[in-house]
């Protein structure tokens, strides 16, 4: 199927689309979606220094954090793997409120906007909670469990699940608007580019779906299944597969060009699966692998800029913050890498493990550990070093 993508909307409208999911205030104080914005860019609005110190840590007893945190108006929102969802103050790590749900655990990130939190649980329920105290505004039973955060697009919540369904629900009351289904699980978040939802599926295809109607616009075969959330930048989508191949897909232009592969990359020495989302800006695209490597490529041509070996596999999706790349491993080590060279500027061994992704908000790095510790690191002045 041909897909007419309005490329100028993706570029010129990027700031508008992002602002739609940010609450009032400085954009540096918000990380409202699992990969920060509708494009799933994984790029922070604020920066970090190369000298980080532990600001605080919040310990949840007898549980763990696998979800990525989100932040709005200086409050962190995150669920644990058992039954509890938390609101924690960014400034000092103090609990604002926490709410327990019967027989529900949270592996997925939340999404937050206009005083409402949207989060799905292990049992396939999508909850809408009040940011004020966590009370339930509404809930909807999905057709299967969801392991990735929803996306807020216009007046809709878009959420995928393990039955292979992308569902669009009203943000006001959870009423279904439409659904789109594939014949395999969907374990990626839907990325929005020029009004289209991009879905990298476990059926070995990239699906391009109209985000307003749920109508399929195009599909493109890839070399294997994937649960990686695509990252969109300058008319392209970037993601990896279980076969160890990393793709850059040209989405289409005003000239009615069909979606097609721009380039692919795979490490000639390693073919391990790629399960993280990528982070991408105009300078590079970066991702982690099950082969204990972090890769940085030129987004225009796929040429390798650098790669860094770490001591364990990477399930936590990296992010870009200013001139640094932040990534974390399943053995609990955090790395701050120079974006140009990949040189390690700072690292921290937390133990436990990291599955959820790091986020950077107002010069602070936040990351939840599978041992139940939520960490916050902050840039330190030289005198505190």
DSSP secondary-structure letter at 115? Answer: T
| Phi, psi for residue 297 in degrees, rounded to 5 | -120, 155
Separation between Cα atoms, residue 360 and residue 284, nearest integer Å:
18
Q: Give the CA angle between residues 57, 34, 203 to the nearest 5°.
A: 130
* Eight-state DSSP code of residue 12: H
354 in a structural domain: yes
3-state helix, strand, coil in the chain (%, to 5): 5, 40, 55
The verdict on residue 2 lying in a domain is: no
How confident is the model at residue 23, as a pLDDT? 33
Identify the pLDDT of residue 384: 45
* Residues comprising the chain, all counted: 385
Indicate whether 133 belongs to any domain.
yes
Q: Is residue 1 part of a domain?
A: no
Secondary structure of residue 19 in the 3-state scheme: helix
Contact between 135 and 118 under an 8 Å Cβ cutoff? The reply is: no
Please give the residue range of the domain that contains residue 282: 7-384
Residue 291 is part of a domain; what is its CATH number? 2.130.10.10
Specify the pLDDT at position 104.
79
Tell me the three state secondary structure of residue 14: helix
Predicted pLDDT at 29: 79
In a domain, 83, yes or no: yes
> Would you say 15 and 27 are in contact if contact means Cβ atoms under 8 Å apart?
no
Phi and psi of 173, rounded to 5°? -140, 0
Give the Cα separation of 145 and 30 in Å (integer). 27
β-partners of residue 181 are: 165
The answer to whether residue 214 is domain-embedded is yes
DSSP β-ladder status, 84-89 and 231-233: unpaired
DSSP lists the bridge partners of residue 193 as 196
- From first to last of the 385 residues of the chain, give the pLDDT tens digit: 333 333 333 333 333 333 333 333 345 679 999 999 999 999 999 999 998 999 999 999 999 999 999 999 999 999 999 999 999 999 999 999 999 988 779 999 999 999 999 999 988 999 999 999 999 999 999 999 998 999 999 999 999 999 999 999 999 999 999 999 999 999 999 999 999 999 999 999 999 999 999 999 999 999 999 999 999 999 999 999 999 999 999 997 544 568 999 999 999 988 899 999 999 999 999 999 999 999 999 999 999 999 999 999 999 999 999 999 999 999 999 999 999 999 999 999 999 999 999 999 999 999 999 999 999 999 886 554 4
Q: What was the pLDDT predicted at 14?
A: 37
DSSP string of 287-345, one letter each residue: EE-TTSEEEEE-TTT--EEEEEE-SS---SPPEEETTEEEEE-TTSEEEEEETTT--EE
Beta bridge partners of 57: 375
In the DSSP assignment, the letter for residue 215 is -
DSSP readout, 31-82?
A: B-STTSSTT---B-SS---S-EEEEEEEE-TT----SPPEEETTEEEEE-SS
Residue 163 lies in a domain: yes
Q: Which residue has the tokens 């070093």?
A: 385
Q: Is residue 248 part of a domain?
A: yes
Alpha-carbon distance of 280 to 105, in angstroms, equals 30
Other Cβ atoms closer than 10 A to 155? 11
> How many domains does the structure of the chain reveal?
1
Q: How far apart are CA 364 and CA 47, in angstroms?
A: 8
Note whether 198 and 233 are within 8 A (CB).
no
């Amino acid at each position: 199927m041909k897909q007419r993508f309005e490329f100028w909307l993706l570029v010129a409208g990027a700031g508008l689309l992002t602002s739609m999911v940010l609450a009032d205030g400085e954009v540096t104080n918000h990380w409202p979606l699992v990969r920060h914005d509708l494009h799933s860019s994984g790029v922070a609005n604020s920066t970090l220094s190369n000298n980080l110190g532990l600001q605080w840590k919040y310990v949840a007893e007898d549980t763990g954090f696998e979800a990525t945190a989100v932040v709005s108006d200086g409050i962190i929102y995150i669920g644990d793997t058992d039954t509890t969802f938390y609101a924690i103050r960014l400034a000092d790590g103090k609990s604002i409120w926490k709410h327990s749900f019967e027989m529900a655990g949270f592996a997925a990130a939340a999404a937050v906007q206009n005083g409402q939190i949207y989060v799905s649980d292990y049992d396939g329920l999508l909850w809408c909670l009040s940011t004020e105290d966590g009370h339930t505004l509404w809930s909807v039973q999905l057709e299967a469990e969801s392991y990735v955060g929803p996306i807020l697009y216009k007046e809709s919540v878009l959420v995928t699940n393990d039955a292979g369904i992308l569902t669009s629900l009203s943000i006001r009351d959870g009423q279904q608007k439409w659904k789109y289904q594939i014949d395999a699980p969907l374990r990626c978040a839907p990325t929005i580019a020029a009004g289209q939802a991009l879905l990298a599926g476990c059926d070995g295809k990239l699906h391009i779906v109209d985000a307003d109607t749920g109508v399929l616009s195009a599909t493109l075969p890839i070399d294997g299944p994937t649960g990686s959330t695509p990252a969109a930048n300058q008319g392209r989508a970037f993601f990896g597969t279980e076969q160890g191949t990393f793709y850059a897909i040209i989405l289409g232009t005003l000239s009615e060009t069909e979606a097609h592969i721009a380039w692919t990359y795979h490490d000639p020495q390693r073919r391990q699966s790629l399960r993280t989302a990528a982070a991408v800006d105009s300078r590079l695209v970066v991702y982690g692998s099950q082969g204990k490597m972090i890769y940085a490529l030129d987004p225009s041509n796929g040429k390798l800029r650098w790669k860094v070996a770490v001591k364990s596999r990477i399930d936590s999706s990296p992010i870009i913050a200013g001139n640094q790349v932040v990534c974390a491993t399943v053995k609990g080590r955090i790395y701050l890498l120079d974006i140009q060279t990949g040189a390690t500027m700072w690292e921290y061994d937390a133990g436990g493990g990291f599955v959820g992704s790091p986020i950077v908000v107002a010069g602070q790095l936040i990351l939840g550990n599978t041992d139940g510790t939520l960490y916050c690191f902050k840039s330190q002045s030289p005198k505190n070093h």
